[in-house]
Amino acid sequence: MSDITVLGIFVADISFSGNKLPSMGETILGDSYNVGPGGKGCNQAIAISRLGGKVNFISKLGDDEYGKLAINKLKKDNIDTSNIIISNKHKTGVAGIHVDKNTGKNAITVVRGAPSSLTTKEIDTNLFKQSKIFLTQLEIPIQVTLHCLKAAKEYGLINILNPAPACELSNDFFKLVDYFTPNETEAEFYTGVKINNANDAKVSAKKLIEMGIKKVIITLGEKGLLYSDGKEEIYMKATADKAVDTTGAGDAFNGGFSFALLKGKKIKECLEIANKVAGFSTTKLGAGDSMPIPKDINLTV
């Protein structure tokens, strides 16, 4: 039994922290490196579970060291790993992440490995019936994502799509999504509207609603976030936390938001909780490992 089903990838994040991000053709000397859990789905699953939600994480791993690391880490965080497929034909993926320690900003290349071979036949969508919320991103093959969104909708789940990394989506997607949660770059990809401020975000959200999406949350990094359902609009500033590493902040937000929604909170409170989870995650190095437990963000549920 799980409250939330998360479909997504696990990769081993190999993060390099230094005084700046390297430019094209440049070699820089970094200060430290870390190997930890990453992949948007994995990070979101950890965020939910640490807050107290029961998570079923659906993914695919290689039968290798990083695959073992994944299972250990996920189990330690009380995540149901029984629906993770282990492939002996593919490797577990990795991400190479450069972090500028002064701003916390990053540049990421992900090699997905095993989950890039995931097929619809490998997923038992009957399991979705046990959950109330289905949360996914765009790191899994697109046809699998669409198939699962359809199944989740048929079973009456709330569908949350974090469209990251952005890629072309058919109209079928938009109709199936209850909450669409792009960051400002991803929102620009779908609407063509460059977002520099809250007003631009409102224009972008309006376009997304016109495309058939029910509810939109555009995360704006240090500028905060904008929610719209076509009638109600909420703008919220980001927390004042000093960012050390912003990797996984969007995942923290999605995890925190899904958890708050599960707990039946009103939209404004869901956004406040998600905002705090995201803010906290930026104060720690790493992605999956930077997710808070309730007392870190003074959360009582």
Stretch that binds ligand RIB, among 34-42, 52-60, 208-216, 289-297 (CB under 6 A): 34-42
Residue number, 228 or 282, with CB nearest to ligand RIB? 282
The torsion angle over the Cα atoms of residues 138, 139, 145 and 148, rounded to 10 degrees, is: -110
What type of residue is 46?
A: I
Distance of CA 180 to the CA centre of its chain: 12
- State in angstroms the smallest separation of the CB of 22 from ligand RIB: 18
Residue number, 164 or 261, with CB nearest to ligand RIB? 164
- Contact pick of 61, 110, 209, 299 for ligand RIB (by CB under 6 A): 110
Q: How many CB atoms lie within 10 A of CB 261?
A: 24
CB contact set of 143 (below 8 Å; sequence gap of 6+): 120
Tracing tokens 């972090």 back to the chain, one arrives at: 99
Binding pattern for the stretch 231-270 against ligand RIB, x by CB under 6 A and - elsewhere: ----------------xx-xx-------------------
- State in angstroms the smallest separation of the CB of 95 from ligand RIB: 3
Separation CA 59–CA 140 (nearest Å): 9
Tracing tokens 């899904």 back to the chain, one arrives at: 258
- Contact pick of 287, 291, 297, 299 for ligand RIB (by CB under 6 A): 287
Q: Is 163 in the site for ligand RIB (CB under 6 A)?
A: no
Q: Is 40 in the site for ligand RIB (CB under 6 A)?
A: yes
Residue number, 151 or 249, with CB nearest to ligand RIB? 249
- Contact pick of 6, 38, 49, 169 for ligand RIB (by CB under 6 A): 38
Among residues 50, 111, 99, which one has the least CA distance to residue 295? 50
In this structure, are residues 139 and 114 in contact, taking their beta carbons and an 8 Å threshold?
A: no
- Contact pick of 2, 43, 59, 131 for ligand RIB (by CB under 6 A): 43
Binding pattern for the stretch 115-154 against ligand RIB, x by CB under 6 A and - elsewhere: ------------------------x---------------
- State in angstroms the smallest separation of the CB of 296 from ligand RIB: 19
The pairing of strands 84-87 and 92-100 is unpaired
Number of residues that bind ligand RIB (CB under 6 A): 15
Separation CA 184–CA 208 (nearest Å): 12
The residues carrying an active-site annotation are 251
Q: Where are the beta strands (DSSP E) in the chain?
A: 4-7, 11-18, 32-38, 55-62, 84-87, 92-100, 106-113, 133-136, 158-161, 179-180, 215-219, 225-228, 233-236
- Contact pick of 39, 53, 62, 113 for ligand RIB (by CB under 6 A): 39
- Binding positions for ligand RIB, rule: CB under 6 A: 11, 13, 38-40, 43, 95, 108, 110, 139, 247-248, 250-251, 287
